[in-house]
Structure 1
Amino acid sequence: MPEQTQDTPRTRTSLAEDLTALGVAPGETLLVHTSLRSLGWVCGADEAVVQALLDAVGPTGTLVVPTQTGDNSDPAGWANPPVPETWWETIRAETPAFDPATTPSPHMGRVAERVRTWPGAVRSAHPQTSFAALGPNAAELMRPHPLESALGENSPLARLAKTDARVLLLGTGYDSCTAFHLAEYRVPHPPTEPSSCAVRTPEGRRKWVTYTGVALDESDFPALGAAFEAAGAVTVGRVGSATARLFPLPEAITFATAWLTENRPGPHLRGPVR
């Protein structure tokens, strides 16, 4: 039986209208996670989606996306899929150094990649958990982003919270809600773990480094998100064919910190950040 198709194509105009109807406002700062496929057939694909998002926040608003590069990590911890142990030293020696201008973020989706490469985009400098932004506040939000504060108090994520940014999950679930990771830094005595990656030194050389940071684990984020949504702080609607969720980032962090404190009794095995 042939697959049914949507009755009309999604366009830059229709998506912008849907975003406005959901509550996205001109002048605001918006952290967006997007599944392009969930929107249905879009005329102009990821380019049109970025244009619609920019239309919705307007020229005084700022659009932010995660551009994380989890592949720049120690292969000893890879599981999806793993690689032979005999490869590990080669990978550690040959992984290209992170470069905000050129390193792609293929696992974050086409919309995030389009924002990263959009004229005027500013990207933060963390080799594993970077963000990219478009808009008048982009540079201020993206810098600095030190190695030891992947998603912590000196990261773009914390600055987004201080500026009352909102989060838009556009066809994605709470398992991809990067904002919740800041709460992991704010629980009492968060567990830590070492992490390794390839960086570029100030002299322009490649270097493999290891640093210690908070252990990140999104495995319980769907349950956390469901509890947060049940508390009434989330606006749920349709954008294109996608289910969209819009909510204030500071409220999400406050709720998540309390929820994680209560529901995570202690350190446990942690997975890689997504």
Structure 2
Amino acid sequence: MRTDRASLAADLRALGLPAGDLVVHVSLRRLGPPRDGPQVLLDALREVAGPGATIVVPTHTAHNSTTSPVFREATRGLDGPRLAAYLDAMPGFTPSMASTGMGAFAEHVRLAPGTVRSGHPQTSFAAAGPRAEEFMAVHDLDCHLGERSPVGALYRAGAHELMIGCGWERCTGLHLAEGRVPRPRRKTYTCFVDRDGKRVTEHFLGIDHDDRDFAELGAAFDRTGGSRRGRIGRTEALLTPLRGAVDFAVRWLTENRRWREDDP
């Protein structure tokens, strides 16, 4: 059974989705295939969030980085020549580059007319709506998901984050909190960027983002009553205000995250 715009909009209203700007993560497979594809879900989101809402999706590109889990998995066991060949074939980031593992809905929004994409070579976002240019304008290289990124802009705007068919482990807002804790852990990242048709290597120091405890963190926030859960289509959905989740996460991470000295 396929979902349609009317049923999706009804589910979003029942969840309590307010009018306003929204970050969206979706597993269409779990949602159930919408009739006429992901545009139906986008239309339903716009109907409920209102004409003034800007819809934002992650369009990350981990396949152009040598410091990403995607690279480590893809190159595990490769010998010298095969590893060199893999490295040679890795692309440099361009705004037209497809995202990696973000799903069909995110790609649909990225390719939609009028969409604006941020310029980060690893953790870009795409936005459609009245404030798209504003939210995507600043995304500094050394700030994956921090204050000088679309996540920071959306936090300041009072946006909500919606996870459909996925949970707290996909909540990009929680990564903003990682940079706000005392003495955040940092690491050096490496990725490739296309500049005038030439692949350039970029090295930069940034927050060492880690989502391994986000499910535990999110469960603690759920217990405060700050988030909402319900069903959208065939799957569960989670809705949270970014400010509430991030502010709580700063306190929780400060008190509970204890990395071992030898932790990679």
TM-score, length-scaled by structure 2: 0.92
Where in structure 2 are the equivalents of 1:173-252 lying within 5 Å? 173-201=167-195, 203=196, 205-252=198-245
Q: Which of residues 135, 138, 141 in structure 1 aligns to 2:135?
A: 141
Determine the structure 2 residue equivalent to 1:125.
119
User: Within 2, Cα distance between the matches of 1:52 and 1:269?
Assistant: 47
User: Within 2, Cα distance between the matches of 1:250 and 1:268?
Assistant: 31
User: Within 1, Cα distance between the matches of 2:176 and 2:220?
Assistant: 17
User: Within 2, Cα distance between the matches of 1:206 and 1:12?
Assistant: 42
Percent identity between the two aligned chains:
42
Deviation at 1:175, TM superposition (A): 1.1
Where in structure 2 are the equivalents of 1:60-99 lying within 5 Å? 60-74=52-66, 78-83=71-76, 84-86=78-80, 87-99=82-94
The answer on whether the counterparts of 1:215 and 1:270 sit within 8 Å (CA) in structure 2 is no
User: Within 1, Cα distance between the matches of 2:141 and 2:245?
Assistant: 24
Deviation at 1:215, TM superposition (A): 0.5
**Structure 2 counterpart SS, 1:206:** strand
Moved more, 87-96 or 45-54: 87-96
- Determine if the alignment matches structure 1 residue 48 to structure 2 residue 43: no
Q: Which amino acid aligns with 2:50?
A: G
Q: Which amino acid aligns with 2:18?
A: A
Moved more, 104-113 or 15-24: 15-24
- How many residue pairs end up in the alignment? 261
Deviation at 1:19, TM superposition (A): 1.0
Q: Superposition RMSD on alpha carbons, in Å?
A: 1.9
Q: Which amino acid aligns with 1:236?
A: R
Which ranges of structure 2 fall in alignment gaps of 5 or more residues? none
Determine the structure 2 residue equivalent to 1:165.
159
Moved more, 16-25 or 207-216: 16-25
1:104-139 CA-partner distances (Å, limit 9, x unpaired): 014001111101111110000001001100000001
**Structure 2 counterpart SS, 1:186:** coil
**Structure 2 counterpart SS, 1:226:** helix
Deviation at 1:85, TM superposition (A): 4.5
- With over 3 angstroms needed to count, the CA separation of the structure-2 counterparts of 1:76 and 1:225, relative to structure 1, is closer
- With over 3 angstroms needed to count, the CA separation of the structure-2 counterparts of 1:160 and 1:75, relative to structure 1, is closer
- With over 3 angstroms needed to count, the CA separation of the structure-2 counterparts of 1:195 and 1:53, relative to structure 1, is same
Deviation at 1:91, TM superposition (A): 3.8
Determine the structure 2 residue equivalent to 1:254.
247
Determine the structure 2 residue equivalent to 1:16.
9
Determine the structure 2 residue equivalent to 1:3.
none
1:134-153 CA-partner distances (Å, limit 9, x unpaired): 00000100111111111111
Deviation at 1:209, TM superposition (A): 1.4
The answer on whether the counterparts of 1:184 and 1:260 sit within 8 Å (CA) in structure 2 is yes
Q: Which amino acid aligns with 2:247?
A: T
The answer on whether the counterparts of 2:193 and 2:202 sit within 8 Å (CA) in structure 1 is yes
Determine the structure 2 residue equivalent to 1:265.
258
- With over 3 angstroms needed to count, the CA separation of the structure-2 counterparts of 1:207 and 1:98, relative to structure 1, is same
- With over 3 angstroms needed to count, the CA separation of the structure-2 counterparts of 1:153 and 1:37, relative to structure 1, is same
Deviation at 1:265, TM superposition (A): 2.5
4+ runs deviating over 6 angstroms: none
The answer on whether the counterparts of 1:74 and 1:197 sit within 8 Å (CA) in structure 2 is yes
The answer on whether the counterparts of 2:138 and 2:149 sit within 8 Å (CA) in structure 1 is yes
1:47-89 CA-partner distances (Å, limit 9, x unpaired): 2122222222222111001111111111686343434142444
